[in-house]
Amino acid sequence: MCWLVDLVIRNAKVVDAHFSGMVDIAIEGGDIGALLSPGTACTAAQELDAQGCIVMPGLIDAHVHLREPGLTHKETIATGTAAAVCGGVTTVLDMPNTAPPVSSPQILKEKGKLVAGQAWADVGFYALLGPGMVHQLAALVEVGCVGFKLFLGPTTGSLPAPDWGELYEAFQILADLGVPVVVHAEDRAWVECGQAQVSNRGVFDYQSFLIQRPKLGEVSATQQICLLAGATGAPIHIAHVTSAEAVEVIGRAKSYGWSVTAETSPMYLFLSDEDYAAVGTAMKVLPPVRGRTDQAALWAALRNGIIDMIATDHAPHTPADKDQDLANAAAGAPGVETLLPLLLDAGRQGRCTLADITRWCAYEPARRFGFPNKGRIQPGGRADLVIIDTNEVWTIDQSQLHSKSCVTPFHGRRGVGKARYAILAGNIVMADGDLVGRPRGNWVKPTQGGRASHAR
Ligand code: DOR
Ligand code: ZN
């Protein structure tokens, strides 16, 4: 067979959630045209040799704060997506706690316009599920949000949740629309209770932080929201799961057949409260990083499918925002560029396989949020790819990261594997750590009917 294609990747050791093997990947018009036996005759405008590397689907990070508009001193679409592609992430789903928050179709449209010419990766947007928004939900879906974010507890942006009556109504509408609600599951009442307990303590150490944002708050919010999902049929996705107890609740909700998915982040998988003494406020995040038993439970939940995916909660702040005492430091850390090297290191230690990584960081987010043409390497799929040299072992250095916020809790940790090339819709956008060409990312919208329900 011999024809002309745009790009051929030779000797590609492909790893995705369902397939691994050596192929040549022929790319035409931004899509994967064919997977060929190595050496198949085929003329290409451009050719890459992936010998010695592995090729994965471009990763999809379902939880990223790009901070634009309004908070561009912390991050921009340009800097956040540059960091993404340098880390092998070719699609990011951006959170709505920007300024203004994404609370109307008009604001979503305006946000969408910021992508073209700025973004190095594809960007999808969540809308807010806030008070008084029930009548806007269908229109926001029409404009193309990937889902709705519900903040049940206080966090960056101080965005309140609707009351339960209004949430019930919203969930009924979203059940009909089949659009997921991503939930920051911390119960405000328990956070206020924790705050009161901490005030009596005198000191604010890491233990105080854990008291201020108790597990009780996470578990109770997770339980409530799962019950509402069960009662209404609305798809929900629990963001940044941190505790063994929340895993139990999610597992039970799934066993009832409710449409519940969940993510955890590298913060909770690679850090525990014991690290605070060495790492400091760089690891302050909401909900907090908890104990080692929780960390082990999160890994187990990923392996048994109770937690479906890993998303970074890339939440950049300025060094000045972070360089405060624990009580006052901003919560959140960049993560999109360190995701892959941390997971590949875990892989090297036998904690997961390469196929697991692509399932958790590409296939599952694509399925849940409506991108059936992404997250896999298959003919007809989008040619979003990352070519990785897995032999490189290096040390994560915050001064080398591309986010505006370089305050990472993973500074000094071992990273494994370097993303040699990131390819977005058939175009090389990053090579050996350098951005290539112009920002080609698009505002991506879910495919109608492309969201898997995940109900079991
Ligand atoms: O630590 C966090 N940072 N948790 C959140 O829920 C929000 C995020 C941010 O936007 O800074
Ligand atoms: Zn977040």
* Ligand in closest contact with the CA of 218: 1
- Determine if ligand 1 sits within 6 Å of the CB of residue 97: yes
- Determine if ligand 1 sits within 6 Å of the CB of residue 264: no
Q: Ligand 2 centroid vs 391 CA: distance in angstroms?
A: 32
- Determine if ligand 1 sits within 6 Å of the CB of residue 53: no
What confidence score (pLDDT) does residue 300 get? 98
* Ligand in closest contact with the CA of 159: 1
- Residue 63 near residue 239, CB atoms below 8 Å: yes
- Determine if ligand 1 sits within 6 Å of the CB of residue 441: no
- Residue 163 near residue 188, CB atoms below 8 Å: no
The protein residue with its alpha carbon nearest to ligand 1, atom 4, reads 286
What confidence score (pLDDT) does residue 202 get? 86
- Determine if ligand 1 sits within 6 Å of the CB of residue 343: no
- Determine if ligand 1 sits within 6 Å of the CB of residue 155: yes
Q: Ligand 1 centroid vs 387 CA: distance in angstroms?
A: 30
Q: What do you get for the CA distance between the two ends of the chain, in Å?
A: 43
Measuring CA to CA, which residue among 229, 242, 262, 256 is closest to residue 365?
A: 262
Interatomic CA distance for residues 268 and 232, integer angstroms: 30
Q: Ligand 2 centroid vs 62 CA: distance in angstroms?
A: 10
Positive/negative CA dihedral, 86, 88, 90, 96: negative
Q: Ligand 2 centroid vs 382 CA: distance in angstroms?
A: 27
User: Bridge partners of 31?
Assistant: 28, 382
Q: Ligand 1 centroid vs 340 CA: distance in angstroms?
A: 21
Alpha-carbon separation of residue 236 from 38, 255, 304, 445 (angstroms): 42, 15, 19, 18
- Going residue by residue through the chain (456 aa), what tens digit of pLDDT does each one get? 557 899 999 999 999 999 999 999 999 999 999 999 999 999 999 999 999 999 999 999 999 999 999 999 999 999 999 999 999 999 999 999 999 999 999 999 999 999 999 999 999 999 999 999 999 999 999 999 999 999 999 888 889 999 999 999 999 999 999 999 999 999 999 999 999 999 988 899 999 999 999 999 999 999 999 999 999 999 999 999 999 999 999 999 999 999 999 999 999 999 999 999 999 999 999 999 999 999 999 999 999 999 999 999 999 999 999 999 999 999 999 999 999 999 999 999 999 999 999 999 999 999 999 999 999 999 999 999 999 999 999 999 999 999 999 899 999 999 999 999 999 999 999 999 999 999 999 999 999 777 887 766
Q: Ligand 2 centroid vs 96 CA: distance in angstroms?
A: 9
**HSE of 123, CA atoms in CB hemisphere, 13 A:** 33
- Residue 311 near residue 238, CB atoms below 8 Å: no
Beta pairing, strands 89-94 & 122-128: parallel
What confidence score (pLDDT) does residue 156 get? 83
Domains delineated in the chain:
4-55+382-435 (2.30.40.10), 58-369 (3.20.20.140)
> What is the residue whose two structure tokens read 């360190």?
338
- Determine if ligand 1 sits within 6 Å of the CB of residue 285: yes
What confidence score (pLDDT) does residue 399 get? 96
Q: Which of 65, 149, 212, 281 should be mutated for ligand 1, with most atoms under 8 A from CB?
A: 65
Q: Which of 265, 267, 313 should be mutated for ligand 1, with most atoms under 8 A from CB?
A: 313
- Determine if ligand 1 sits within 6 Å of the CB of residue 242: no
* Ligand in closest contact with the CA of 334: 1
- Determine if ligand 1 sits within 6 Å of the CB of residue 368: no
In sequence order, what are the residues at sequence separation of 6 or more whose Cβ sits closer than 8 angstroms to the Cβ of residue 39?
A: 10, 24
Q: Ligand 1 centroid vs 83 CA: distance in angstroms?
A: 18
Q: Ligand 2 centroid vs 28 CA: distance in angstroms?
A: 36
The length of the chain is: 456
Q: Ligand 1 centroid vs 413 CA: distance in angstroms?
A: 23
What confidence score (pLDDT) does residue 456 get? 60
Backbone angles phi, psi at 300, to 5 degrees: -65, -40
